[in-house]
Structure 1
């Protein structure tokens, strides 16, 4: 059983388990068509659908077996602004998939990058992952840019690989290895210590 020591604190965020108290914040983005447009099979949710989603996510706070999902709320003083998740895809290959959803009103400030970085740090250092990957619709430029900022490289462009809203869609796959993450973290540490 693998569970991070919560909460995880970053410079501007507290990453913690989701609770039913977060329903209003989560529903605020789950009801928006501009947020769910790139999600697989997702439609804007009613409040009751968001309530069911929050209840499901509140139980995703530990990784016991392949397929389990760790979902954390990214909270500021203003409330929960997004979620970040890590899905355990392979025990043998020590691989996990990164996912995230943030309210657009909080975009452009690096909060998603900050949250994803913290979860990836835990995944590589505490959960001993070898590889973390993430996927997005080929036209979801914001998600692709986020993966690039995280140091992930684009490994694949799957042409018409899945049905999305009744049309064949291309999918981009990005990934980073633990060794690459450690090199990147060491370089970032040198930059920050050298700027003092």
Structure 2
């Protein structure tokens, strides 16, 4: 079981469970077409975000295979909700997991996604005992691919036109890291 002590503190972020008062902040992110561009869903209405938030509030721990830990990203300096990060327990027998992240565009390119995703890798490897963690993204989403690469994950697959997303054939990139390859920031070797 994985039930972290909250909030999880990084240099610039608090990773914490979602709360009811996150509705406006989450809507400010998920209502943007630019945010949903490479995701399976379209920009969401307030009512849709309300439903999503109700589900995310419950995703504060992982007890069973198939469950998702989904945490809000809050800037420590401003208190603003800037996105979310998640860890899914894909397989108990094979000790597999998957990470993901979504950020408000105003906070892209500042290292916040890497900072938060590093914590998801740590939780997966050190607390949940995973052997392998993957990250997937649309092949057109170079920004997310760069984050996965900066985490030290290796590209294992480039699946050509493997899905129809929003009426269009798209490629999928699959990145992965093994527990034996995990190094916390500052421990990375050249």
Shift of the alpha carbon at 1:67? 1.1
Map residues 102-117 of structure 1 onto 2, 5 A cutoff: 102-117=103-118
Alignment partner, residue 52 of structure 1: 51
Map residues 6-45 of structure 1 onto 2, 5 A cutoff: 6-40=6-40, 42-45=41-44
Alignment partner, residue 2 of structure 2: 2
Report the Cα distance in structure 1 between the residues aligned to 2:22 and 2:80, rounded to whole angstroms.
8
Report the Cα distance in structure 1 between the residues aligned to 2:188 and 2:95, rounded to whole angstroms.
28
Shift of the alpha carbon at 1:22? 0.6
Shift of the alpha carbon at 1:65? 1.4
Report the Cα distance in structure 1 between the residues aligned to 2:124 and 2:188, rounded to whole angstroms.
22
**4+ runs deviating over 6 angstroms:** none
Which string of whole-angstrom CA distances, capped at 9 and with x for unpartnered residues, describes residues 110-157 of structure 1?
011101101211111111111110111100000100000100000001
Local SS of the residue matching 2:73: strand
- TM-score, normalised to structure 2, is 0.94
Shift of the alpha carbon at 1:78? 3.5
Alignment partner, residue 194 of structure 1: none
Tell me, yes or no, if the aligned pair for 2:122 and 2:184 is still in contact at 8 Å.
no
* Aligned alpha-carbon RMSD (Å): 1.3
Report the Cα distance in structure 2 between the residues aligned to 1:175 and 1:50, rounded to whole angstroms.
30
Tell me, yes or no, if the aligned pair for 2:118 and 2:184 is still in contact at 8 Å.
no
Report the Cα distance in structure 1 between the residues aligned to 2:172 and 2:111, rounded to whole angstroms.
24
- Corresponding residue pairs, total: 187
Report the Cα distance in structure 2 between the residues aligned to 1:143 and 1:36, rounded to whole angstroms.
13
Report the Cα distance in structure 1 between the residues aligned to 2:35 and 2:139, rounded to whole angstroms.
16
Shift of the alpha carbon at 1:185? 2.7
Local SS of the residue matching 2:152: coil
Greater Cα shift, 26-35 or 160-169:
160-169
Alignment partner, residue 134 of structure 2: 133
Local SS of the residue matching 1:185: coil
Structure 2: gaps (5+ residues): none
- TM-score, normalised to structure 1, is 0.92
Which is helix-richer, 1 or 2?
1
Alignment partner, residue 63 of structure 1: 62
